Amino acid sequence: MTTTTLGIIGTGMVGAGVARRAVDAGLNVVLSNSRGPGTLDELVARLGHRARAATPAETARAAEVVLAAVPLKARDRLPGEDLVGRIVIDPMNYAPSAAWSLPELDSGALTSSELVQRDLPGARVVKALHNIGPGQLLDLFRPAGSPDRTALPLSGDDAGAKKETAALLDALGFDTVDLGPLAESWRSEPNSPLYAFPYVGPPPAGLAVAELVAWVQQAPGTPAPKARVEELAAAALRGPAGFRMD
């Protein structure tokens, strides 16, 4: 792995969880959000000396690999010019609502990660870290070769970017399964068998949508080995895009 500094734009649950794993794995982390570096003092203090805060543009320039942990509808706020040539890990998921939707995704003309790549034409986008919750990310990491090591899917159009992302995920404690180009990333998006539940097990019956989301966020991790992830990816059938909360 050549990545020594991971940039993270967006410091919600996903960004903070990945930052924790990265620091614990010996990487330096540069964190940013839309509110300014000063709002990240507490998180940086918890993470320790390997972490520092910056603006999104500074984060993009400082890191070889950048996790864009922002809502999909906020992707236009990413510092596109500063991400040219960078590997951008896309953990964004489409969450349409009565107030906001994207016809290109609803029709299946594009996957959400193809949309991100189109909007960041100079970046090397890899879809990853989108189908596992931050709690499970912190539960399920294991050393390489462990019999209960969990695998995560990734997709991308740039073979070198996928190789580097797989090496990063290996350092974070996970095997990977390459699903192919960004056009195939639907196999691990919401409404696919690979989304969330392989890493938490079956949920209790009768939960409303909001209750289901809350249950997944709190559930202990369930290991999902590489063979199981490959099996679920191969069996996936493309359905409606996105996960609706309303």
* Three-class SS state of 161: helix
* b/e 182-196 (16+ beta carbons within 10 angstroms → b): bebbbbbbbbbbbbb
Report yes or no on whether pTM surpasses 0.75: yes
Q: Tens digit of pLDDT for each residue in 17-41? A: 999 999 999 999 999 998 999 999 9
CA distances from 243 to 25, 78, 156 (A): 32, 23, 22
Residue 28 lies in a domain: yes
Residue 245 lies in a domain: no
Q: Tokens 């290109």 belong to which residue? A: 104
**pLDDT value of residue 1:** 62
Residue 240 lies in a domain: no
Q: Tens digit of pLDDT for each residue in 97-147? A: 888 888 999 999 999 999 999 999 999 999 999 999 999 999 999 999 999
DSSP state for residue 173 in the 8-state scheme: T
Question: In the structure, what pLDDT confidence band is assigned to residue 195 with cuts at 50, 70 and 90?
Answer: very high
Residue 241 lies in a domain: no
What is the spatial distance between Cα 224 and Cα 228, in angstroms, rounded to a whole number?
6
Residue 74 has pLDDT above 70, yes or no: yes
Average pLDDT over residues 218-236: 94
CB atoms within 10 A of CB 106: 13
| AA identity, residue 95 | A
Which CATH number is 163's domain given? Answer: 3.40.50.720
What's the domain count of the chain?
Answer: 1
Average pLDDT, the chain: 94
Residue 225 lies in a domain: yes
CA distances from 220 to 65, 147, 203 (A): 28, 18, 12
Tokens linked to 245: 């909360």
Residue 242 lies in a domain: no
Q: Residue 209 — left, alpha, or beta (φ > 0 → left; ψ -120 to 50 → alpha)? A: alpha
Q: Are 144 and 171 in contact (CB under 8 A)?
A: no
Instruction: Collect all residues with Cβ–Cβ distance below 8 Å to 103 and sequence separation of at least 6.
Output: none
Q: Are 3 and 64 in contact (CB under 8 A)?
A: yes
Residue 132 lies in a domain: yes
Question: In the structure, what pLDDT confidence band is assigned to residue 213 with cuts at 50, 70 and 90?
Answer: confident
Residue 151 lies in a domain: yes
Q: Are 15 and 133 in contact (CB under 8 A)?
A: no
By residue range, what is the domain housing residue 178?
5-235
